[in-house]
Chains A and B, each alone.
Chain A
Amino acid sequence: MKTINRGKFWIVLFGLATTALFVVTSFRLYKIQIIGDVAKDVSGGMYYRKTLPAQRGGIYDRNGKSQPLAVSVPLWKIFIDPYVIDEGRHGDVMREICKHNEFDETRVFKAVTAEKGRYHPIGETENRKIFDDLSTNAVLRRCVGIEKITRRNYPLDSHMSHVIGIVNSAGMALDGVEKTMNVYMVGKDGFIEGIANAKRKEIVGKRKQRVEPVNGNDVFMTFDRNIQYIVENALDEAITNYNARAGWVIVQNPKTGEILAMASRPTFSPHEYGSSPEESRWNRAIFTNFEPGSVMKALTFAAGINEGICSTNSLINCDPGLYAGRPLQDHVRGDITTTMAVKKSSNRAASRIAMQLGRNRMNDYLIDFGFGKKSGIDLMGESSGIVTPKNRWSDLQLIRIGIGHGIAVTGIQLISMYSTIANKGKMMRTYVIDKVVAPDGTIVLHNTPVILSNPISEKTADDMVFMLSTVPETGGTGRRAKIPGYTVAGKTGTAQMVLPTGGYSTTDYIGSFCGFFPASDPQITILVSLEAPRPNYHGGTVAAPVFAKIGAAIAQYLEIMPDDLDDFPVY
């Protein structure tokens, strides 16, 4: 029998073991590198996953990305863990942190001395080096931490805050366009998946996959922030000058229905949303239901002309008498033309037309002009106004509606009506979002002007423009609305405010002016309403000058050609 030498045996064994080792190693390498089936290896504590956060889309005005209204900014949040601060070292910690001027001493003190919790933010910074300095400090090394966050930056601050809305620190959209367009602006987070080493760090060579984040879409609004600035300034000044409690202004392009500016007072800073009073967060331009007063007469006269009840020159008797069984106050007497009735804002003339229109036709016009329902504007918190059902109207109610009482409207409804008149009777859809653009430039959503209805004929609209353009003239109620170089068409309105307990206030009024210019080719419609101005409260006194100021500045900014050259030297 053949026998093997013992020395040879070990050599054979070593050879076999080495070969087996290489075979196993090769198989393992083949499995990892060629098959790449890491998922089976990724188990338990070895699994590594890192989220790559997507950035929220920005909000920009109509002029593009050079005019941001809201953008996300990455920052570092520095926090303190007071639990690990040694006894008696709190003062040292406080001193070392406060060497950096970026931190509020009170906040640091509260964080350092906190008895509960291990996470107390002391401030946000865009400079990571501050944390590096803090973390290398022997006293602070154990108790200071850092966290990467994204903060929403609102360059206009309190201007336009009602429209833009807010995203809180947790990334939740709470109000305004931030909320209505949230679905477009939220991106999709990416991630890195692979294997972690013993220190929980990724083993880069064993990465399974990296999915890049998809940033949110950018929203471009119809607003122009320069016009917004003009409006906000004028409104602030009016609130101060006329001691008004609140106020709102809307600027619209009557031909397209685009809103160019919208301001509301009181306002709030989006950076201090939580501490702002609730009333300051209301976007009164779309939220407040108010009795419009005489600005509503435009609807009554337009309906009268459209129905053939009157024309611009037909005479209406405005003598004192009983209207629906009650006397009606007016400062005009005798027979006056419809144009004069508009110019002087005659209650009796409007009442007579309302009575001749009757409930059905009056109600139809209210519906056609969009009263009693939401305009569908892409903003949060819109009210629908209040229009009681026509079968519950008494004769007195019909007359009251004709002169702008007994009905509640919103600012956006009112300006839509005037824009319809300015746009030759075509009512356009009101919108604030121009387009939504994906990060790769693809247009996701593009709003275009849409004709909603045609409540009055073109002829009626032209007649109304003519009659309304007499209001800012000498003898009219809206003389202060005149813009030098331009023919203005509009109407004043003053209405007693309705008390929450019922009835009307005897001291608080809402003064309004709504109009457009140039009357020959209307390009801008403006509504100005001031709530509870004192001591003057008439729309022609408090709102019309604001209209004129805003209109003049916008005309200059948009280079709208003058159509009334009386004030200009012509060569």
Chain B
Amino acid sequence: MSRHPRKSKNKIFARPAKKRRSRRENRRWNDTLHAWALPINVSILIIGVVITGVMYAVIYNSCNSIYAEVEQEDIRAVELLEEMQRERAKWDNMKTPVNLQTRLLKHGIAMSSPKPGQRIVMTSSPGKTGVLGTSEYAVNR
């Protein structure tokens, strides 16, 4: 008769009957390494997966930070582009004919076109009038 009162029907998970061990047996038991070793292939697989995973996480984070950096640079580029557009618009506003005229007058520079009497027409051949060549038109100052 078993000394153990509970007797499980499940053979696999049945609690083994306790057996008093002698001191020598206990010492031997304690001196022995008791571990369950995974099969070598499974171990390699797990280690491989772990290393891959860690490497992936490192690379992923690294990429992510670079990605964010690129994004920031993109935003900066857009900001600079917009600033350029604003500055260009300011420049466009400044160099309209009206504003140029106003600025010139502000500095006491009143510009006007030369009157007919101030203009000279140079004919292509001396003494011959009425025939004008390119750029044969000057200002008599």
Given A3-B14, A225-B97, residue A485 in contact with residue B122 (CB < 8 A):
no
Interface residues of B in 78-109 (CB under 8 A from A): 82, 85-86, 88-89, 92-93, 96-98
A556–B46 contact, CB under 8 A?
A: no
What is the bound-complex CA distance between A4 and B11, given in angstroms? 9
B67–A204 contact, CB under 8 A?
A: yes
Closest CB-CB distance, A281 to chain B, in whole Å? Answer: 21
A205–B53 contact, CB under 8 A?
A: no
Interface residues of A in 1-36 (CB under 8 A from B): 1-4, 6-9, 11-12, 15, 18-19, 22, 25-26, 29
A contact residues around B132 at 8 Å (CB)? 561-562
What is the bound-complex CA distance between A485 and B115, given in angstroms? 10
The chain A residue with its CB closest to the CB of B69 is A204
Closest CB-CB distance, A518 to chain B, in whole Å? Answer: 11
* Contact with B63, one of A15, A18, A205, A567 (Cβ below 8 angstroms): A205
Closest CB-CB distance, B57 to chain A, in whole Å? Answer: 10
What is the bound-complex CA distance between A338 and B64, given in angstroms? 87
A569–B121 contact, CB under 8 A?
A: yes
A553–B113 contact, CB under 8 A?
A: yes
B46–A155 contact, CB under 8 A?
A: no
A-B contact count (CB 8 A): 110
What size tier do the contact residues of chain A reach?
35 or more
B contact residues around A18 at 8 Å (CB)? 46
The chain A residue with its CB closest to the CB of B113 is A556
Instruction: Indicate with 1 or 0, residue by residue over A341-379, a CB within 8 angstroms of chain B CB atoms.
Output: 000000000000000000000000000000000000000
Q: Does A74 contact B (CB under 8 A)?
A: yes
B16–A3 contact, CB under 8 A?
A: yes
B96–A570 contact, CB under 8 A?
A: no
Q: Does A126 contact B (CB under 8 A)?
A: yes
Q: Does A289 contact B (CB under 8 A)?
A: no
What is the bound-complex CA distance between A567 and B14, given in angstroms? 129
B contact residues around A115 at 8 Å (CB)? none
Q: Does B33 contact A (CB under 8 A)?
A: no
What is the bound-complex CA distance between A9 and B13, given in angstroms? 9
A11–B36 contact, CB under 8 A?
A: yes
Number of B residues, CB within 8 Å of A: 47
B contact residues around A126 at 8 Å (CB)? 86
Closest CB-CB distance, B38 to chain A, in whole Å? Answer: 6
What is the bound-complex CA distance between A29 and B14, given in angstroms? 41
The chain B residue with its CB closest to the CB of A154 is B93
Closest CB-CB distance, B29 to chain A, in whole Å? Answer: 13
What is the bound-complex CA distance between A19 and B47, given in angstroms? 11
B97–A71 contact, CB under 8 A?
A: no
The chain A residue with its CB closest to the CB of B129 is A570
What is the bound-complex CA distance between A165 and B127, given in angstroms? 53
B38–A15 contact, CB under 8 A?
A: yes
Instruction: Indicate with 1 or 0, residue by residue over B101-131, a CB within 8 angstroms of chain A CB atoms.
Output: 0000000000001111101111100100110
What is the bound-complex CA distance between A229 and B99, given in angstroms? 11
A contact residues around B77 at 8 Å (CB)? none
* Contact with A71, one of B13, B36, B85, B126 (Cβ below 8 angstroms): B85
Q: Does A484 contact B (CB under 8 A)?
A: yes
The chain A residue with its CB closest to the CB of B88 is A71
A contact residues around B53 at 8 Å (CB)? 22, 25-26
Closest CB-CB distance, B85 to chain A, in whole Å? Answer: 6
Give me 14 other A-B pairs in contact (C-beta within 8 A), A1-B12, A204-B64, A571-B126 excluded: A1-B14, A3-B11, A3-B16, A29-B56, A73-B86, A157-B96, A229-B97, A556-B114, A562-B121, A568-B116, A568-B121, A570-B121, A570-B129, A571-B121
Q: List 28 A-B contacts (CB under 8 A).
A: A1-B12, A1-B14, A3-B13, A7-B34, A7-B36, A15-B38, A22-B49, A25-B53, A73-B85, A74-B82, A74-B86, A126-B86, A204-B68, A204-B71, A205-B64, A229-B98, A484-B116, A556-B114, A561-B132, A562-B121, A562-B137, A567-B117, A568-B119, A568-B120, A568-B121, A570-B122, A570-B129, A571-B120
Q: Which 10 A-B pairs have the closest CB atoms?
A: A229-B97, A484-B116, A1-B11, A567-B116, A74-B82, A205-B64, A73-B89, A155-B92, A556-B113, A568-B121
Chain B contact residues, CB within 8 Å of chain A:
11-16, 34, 36, 38, 42, 46, 49-50, 53, 56, 60, 63-64, 67-68, 71, 82, 85-86, 88-89, 92-93, 96-98, 113-117, 119-123, 126, 129-130, 132, 137, 140
